[in-house]
Amino acid sequence: MSEVVLSTGGTGGHIYPAVATAFELLSRGHQVTLLGQRGGMEERIAAEQSLNFFGVQAGKLARSGQGRADPRELLRAGSGLVEARRWLSRTRPAVVVGFGGFASLPGVLAAQSLGLPTVLHEQNARLGLTQRLAVRLARAVGTAYPVVAGLSGRKAVLVGMPVREERLERTEALTRLNLDPQRLTLFIMGGSQGSLALNNVLPEVLRATFPGGGSVHGPIQVLHACGPRWISNVAPRVADLEWYSVEGYVDAVAAWSAADIAVTRAGTGALAEAAFYGVPTLMVPLPESSENHQLFNARAVAAADAGQVIEQPSVSAQMGGAVLECLEPQRRRAMQSAALARSPAGATGRLTDLVLAHARREAT
């Protein structure tokens, strides 16, 4: 049995693949610790999932308007690197895995400075900044796309996007979420931090689309994961709608298992979950995503007929009609089949195999 450290944090897109990998490693008898930003959402999620966690300081590497990094952030990153190095020098894990995001960097760079094996997972079609800083000394990079810009083919191994490969029966999922099993369920998920743009627009659009919670395709209910910081803004606006539930944070396995259709951004993590659970998805790509990569992600899903793209300026005008179209039974079944055909089933196991292949043999 070996100790594996998963370095992650910042956003759910970086954290949840690490959580999925953690459970796969645990099922194989290994010890696992998540390493991330002290006080970050990764610490909360680790606690909720009963996973070991070690927290350090972490500094964002975003550039200022003058093209220079904020020196305070650099100081935090440096402090986190020292903290991570001190801890890793004591624990001497078999391998450290970096999932990207600024909070993953201290753990990965500290491991490399100690000569410990590191493996990276890159979820996007372009190598991220933190991964570019760590890739030279990494043993391998598991990727979610066949080709990743900025990454040589020598280290790249296509594994897919890890998700928790756990499904619930629809009735059980709806019961866990206190939802009505007689209604069609629309799941709104704007990412782990919530989406202000979706939160601002969708309650009014759906109120107008489903007067009284009904539609030509049957009664509807909405499960809107708005992000913890936005709940006080969203919940009062739909308090009079008994068919509209607002939560800051939801059990993702239950929510996806319950969903008939979903409205999401177009990050790779959300689209991988939609595929695994076979949920047709109305995708609103984040306009500010680097090099507009979410729009390209969404177009690939739409080309497979597993979803539909609605660009952010068109949400108010187009979303209501698009939801009704996707709820039409024959259309919904076709999109469900197309989504399942894109399923990343096995990605978690493939990444775990890659990680363990590069672990220190003497630590196993």
DSSP string covering 182-238, please? TSEEEEEE--TT--HHHHHHHHHHHHHHSGGG--TT--EEEEEE--GGGHHHHGGGG
Residue 59 is predicted with a pLDDT of: 72
Residue 359 is predicted with a pLDDT of: 96
Enumerate the known binding-site residues: 11-13, 124, 164, 192, 294
Position with higher pLDDT, 144 vs 173: 173
Position with higher pLDDT, 307 vs 343: 307
Q: For the segment 202-261, what is each residue's pLDDT rounded down to a tens digit?
A: 999 999 999 999 999 999 999 999 988 899 999 999 999 999 999 998 998 999 999 999
C-alpha closest to that of 266 among 194, 190, 335, 162: 190
Enumerate the known binding-site residues for UDP-N-acetyl-alpha-D-glucosamine: 11-13, 124, 164, 192, 294
DSSP code per residue over 272-330:
HHHHHHT--EEE---TTSGGGHHHHHHHHHHHTTSEEE--GGGHHHHHHHHHHHHHSHH
Read off the tokens for 105.
């960097």
Read off the tokens for 151.
């990454």
37, 107 contact by CB (below 8 A): no
Residue-averaged pLDDT of the chain: 91
Residue 64 is predicted with a pLDDT of: 43
